Copies of this chain bind each other. A is one copy, B any other.
């Protein structure tokens, strides 16, 4: 039905955030072609005639990074006439938070994680796009427990708190955090303990089936019994 060869000058670009080595990191690709050849960029590519924007974002991400099967959310559409130095390219940006354990990056030097606090020079307006995704992530975090997207399947409350602190860029009170965290809907207390720490082991938790409701206060609360 559609001619798959012809493409609009509309692209999708995808910001993938994770927590690695105790810092918030973003997945970047070193560009192989002009413009900005050799510069780092977030994964992106043209939208095909037959696919909608969500599908395009998913396909492009898979093609470029082999990352599959994650929840992408539309972020914002950037359309400055000068954002692309050669032609007029409007890009619809997407973003996602993922567990770093969940993806295997084919270990080439051209695809790698970078700390958002220390980004290399980026192609196009990708710095602006990443900054906007951080802003959006913080807003999300205040409404629902996005952290489950970032944590390993089993995690300690301290790890969960670290994730929140990294995203929000500020430290939180342990007791208050735990009180609220324990009210999170879907949080399950396990009878297992972390063995990584050299001192007192911490209890492990996990999330049961995630129902990400649209909007709640800071944490999604368990039903009262």
Contacts and interface: CB of A to CB of B under 8 A. Distances in A.
Contacts of A139: 215
Nearest to A89: B8
A177 interface: no
Given A8-B8, A8-B10, A10-B10, A92 B77 contact: yes
Nearest to A47: B79
A50 interface: yes
Interface residues of A, number: 23
Contact of A79 (B2, B80, B92): B92
A52 B81 contact: yes
Contacts of A79: 10, 47, 52-53, 56, 92
Q: Is the interface of A mostly helix, strand, loop or mixed?
A: mixed
Interface of A: 2, 8-10, 47, 49-53, 56, 74, 76-81, 88, 90, 92, 139, 215
Most buried by B among A8, A9, A76, A88: A88
Interface hub of A10, A50, A74, A81 (most chain B Cβ within 10 A) = A81
Contact of A74 (B8, B77, B90): B77
A53 to B, nearest CB: 4
A94 to B, nearest CB: 10
A74 B47 CA distance: 20
A90 B47 contact: yes
28 contacts: A2-B88, A8-B8, A8-B9, A8-B10, A8-B88, A8-B90, A10-B10, A10-B79, A10-B90, A47-B79, A47-B90, A49-B81, A49-B88, A50-B81, A51-B81, A52-B80, A52-B81, A53-B77, A53-B78, A53-B90, A56-B79, A74-B76, A74-B77, A77-B77, A77-B92, A79-B92, A90-B92, A139-B215
